[in-house]
Amino acid sequence: MKSLFGSLVYCLFLFVSDVYGTHRLNGFDPQQVTAQSYAQRRNIARPPLRTLAPSATDNSCRSRPLDLVFIIDSSRSVRPGEFEKVKIFLADMVDTLDVGPEATRVAVVNYASTVKIEFLLKAHLNKPNMKQAITRIEPLAAGTMTGLAIKSAMTEAFTEESGARPKSKNIAKVAIIVTDGRPQDQVEEVSAAARGSGIEIYAVGVDRADMTSLRLMASNPLEDHVFYVETYGVIEKLTSKFRETLCEIKAVVVVEDPCKCEARLAFQMQTQAALQEITARLADMTGRVEQIENILGPV
Per-residue confidence in pLDDT tens, the chain, 299 aa: 445 545 554 554 455 445 444 444 444 344 433 332 333 233 323 333 222 233 333 444 566 899 999 999 999 999 999 999 999 999 999 999 999 999 999 999 999 999 999 999 999 999 999 999 999 999 998 899 999 999 999 999 999 999 999 999 999 999 999 999 899 999 999 999 999 999 999 999 999 999 999 999 999 999 999 999 999 989 988 998 888 887 754 433 333 444 444 455 556 666 767 777 787 788 788 878 878 877 877 65
CATH numeric code, 60-252 = 3.40.50.410
Nearest to 203 by CA among 141, 221, 91: 221
Beta strand 105-111 pairing with 66-73: parallel
How many CB atoms are located within 10 Å of the residue 39 CB? 17
What is the structure's pLDDT at 293? 75
What is the structure's pLDDT at 10? 53
Domain boundaries, the chain: 2-46+259-296, 60-252
pTM of the model: 0.64
List residues bridging with 69 in a β-sheet.
107, 175
Kindly give, in sequence order, each residue whose CB lies less than 8 Å from that of residue 116, ignoring residues fewer than 6 positions away.
109, 110, 140
What is the structure's pLDDT at 15? 52
Task: Give the C-alpha separation, 107 to 93, whole Å.
Answer: 12
List residues bridging with 108 in a β-sheet.
70, 119
Strand locations in the chain (E): 49-52, 66-73, 105-111, 115-119, 172-179, 199-206, 226-229, 251-254
Task: Give the C-alpha separation, 43 to 169, whole Å.
Answer: 36
Contact assessment for residue 250 and residue 55, using Cβ atoms and an 8 Å cutoff = yes
